[in-house]
């Protein structure tokens, strides 16, 4: 960042979707940039009309405006903004004539990451559940998902829900038939976590199990939603903090150079938050309910540093009995299963994120980095740094 200083008010029009957790992370990124510029950031609810937007801009006389996702092309018009520099977050390229300063998520990186996570599970086929073409970002994620799967992507089945509208009983019935007809085991990507609220009931009605029949991954990592589903939902976490920083940085460039040509910048996913919905489908099916419960405990707690004893504590069984039954069903010890999940996660972090190598051990549940580094090298034959270089 340049040494140039400025001061004044910047308006942040928050998303009308009112999702608290990404709004908070976006604001944290904006605030980090704003402190260096001595900006006062004022958060305003998304206006419903161009007149309301015009009144807000006129009343505050800001240096510029930051506008979070809004589906209406009629609200933030040049007339409503009164010539005030503005940058838009996650706007469809078709809105505002496509000639705007925007920061959007990277749909190719999102779809590619989902494909990488699901393709290692030994699935017989793949599917995608998204929204109609009114939301172009959903189709962009589907296209990227297909492309990243290579030849297997040609057979991806997909279902579209109406954008910004509640599905009818007829659409839900059609979705139920779609779910029942999927190949098993199937790797399924949701365009966002919210679609799990349609998928899970449909699976229950069709007697389709997650993750036994479907390994499912969402997008956004809405922890409140993902952790309250049964089984919990694995999800791709987007770097909303980076989105806020890029938004403020691009506005600063607009303020500094009014002749700057419109540009789009992209923020990327951080990685996958693994939960129960992406346990290996072939390994998930078992007639032993204790083994299935152990699998769920491993998926939920392996990455938080829990020991095997802590993982088994809620299950009301002896360690010896649990180990015997788990090895008979899975062909490996519980500790081996925990290590496998942690090492899978380490490879994802090294391949798909920029998290420092020194922080990977802690992110995978290990308090001793040297011990984890030895395990990683024994599995891959490479140091973590060498693995990152080779995978990229």
Q: Write down all domains in the chain, each with its CATH number in brackets.
A: 8-105+239-269 (3.40.50.2300), 107-238+273-281 (3.40.50.2300), 286-387 (1.10.10.60)
Strand order across the beta sheet in which 102-105 lies: 39-44, 8-13, 64-68, 86-89, 102-105, 264-267
Q: Are strands 234-238 and 269-273 parallel, antiparallel or unpaired?
A: antiparallel
pLDDT of amino acid 5: 47
Per the model's pLDDT, the better-predicted residue between 91 and 215 turns out to be 215
Reported as a single tens digit per residue, the pLDDT across 241-265 is 999 999 999 999 999 998 999 899 9
Flag the least confident range among 41-50, 67-76, 84-93, 371-380.
67-76
- pLDDT at residue 95 greater than cutoff 60: no
Flag the least confident range among 82-86, 187-191, 203-207.
82-86
pLDDT of amino acid 20: 66
Residue % of the chain over a pLDDT of 70:
91
- pLDDT at residue 1 greater than cutoff 50: no
pLDDT of amino acid 19: 65
Give CA–CA dist 376/276, Å, rounded.
23
Distances (CA, A) of 219 to 226, 283, 296: 10, 24, 21
Flag the least confident range among 1-5, 60-64, 83-87, 317-321.
1-5
Residue % of the chain over a pLDDT of 90:
54
């Amino acid at each position: 960042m340049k040494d140039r200083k400025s001061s004044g008010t910047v308006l942040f029009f928050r998303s009308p979707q009112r999702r608290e957790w990404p709004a908070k992370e976006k604001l944290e990124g904006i605030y980090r940039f704003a402190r260096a510029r001595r900006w006062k950031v004022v958060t305003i609810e998304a206006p419903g009309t161009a007149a309301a937007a015009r009144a807000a801009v006129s009343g505050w006389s800001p240096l510029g405006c930051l506008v979070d996702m809004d589906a209406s092309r009629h609200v933030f018009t040049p007339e409503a903004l009164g010539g005030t520099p503005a940058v838009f977050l996650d706007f469809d390229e078709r809105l505002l004539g496509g000639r705007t300063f925007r920061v959007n998520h990277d749909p190719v990186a999102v779809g590619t990451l989902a494909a990488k996570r699901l393709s290692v599970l030994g699935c017989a086929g793949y599917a995608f559940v998204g929204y109609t073409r009114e939301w172009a970002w959903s189709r962009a994620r589907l296209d990227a998902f297909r492309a990243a799967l290579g030849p297997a992507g040609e057979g991806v089945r997909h279902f579209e829900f109406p954008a910004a509208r509640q599905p009818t009983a007829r659409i839900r019935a059609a979705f139920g038939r779609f779910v029942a007809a999927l190949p098993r085991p199937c790797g399924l990507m949701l365009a966002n976590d919210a679609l799990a609220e349609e998928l899970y009931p449909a699976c229950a009605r069709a007697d389709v199990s997650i993750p036994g029949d479907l390994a499912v991954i969402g997008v956004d990592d809405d922890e409140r939603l993902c952790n309250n589903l049964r089984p919990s939902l694995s999800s791709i976490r987007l770097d909303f903090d980076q989105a806020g920083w890029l938004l403020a940085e691009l506005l600063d460039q607009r303020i500094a150079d009014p002749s700057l040509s419109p540009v789009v910048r992209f923020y990327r996913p951080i990685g996958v938050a693994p939960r129960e919905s992406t346990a290996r489908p072939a390994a998930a099916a078992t007639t032993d309910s204790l083994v299935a419960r152990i699998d769920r405990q491993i998926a939920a707690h392996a990455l938080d540093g829990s020991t095997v004893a802590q993982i088994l504590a809620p299950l009301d069984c002896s360690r010896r009995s649990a180990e015997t039954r788990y090895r008979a069903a899975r062909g490996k010890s519980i500790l081996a299963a925990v290590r496998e999940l942690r090492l899978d996660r380490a490879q994802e972090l090294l391949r798909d994120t920029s998290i420092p190598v020194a922080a990977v051990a802690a992110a995978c549940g290990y308090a001793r980095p040297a011990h984890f580094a030895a395990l990683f090298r024994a599995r891959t034959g490479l140091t973590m740094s060498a693995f990152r270089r080779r995978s990229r």
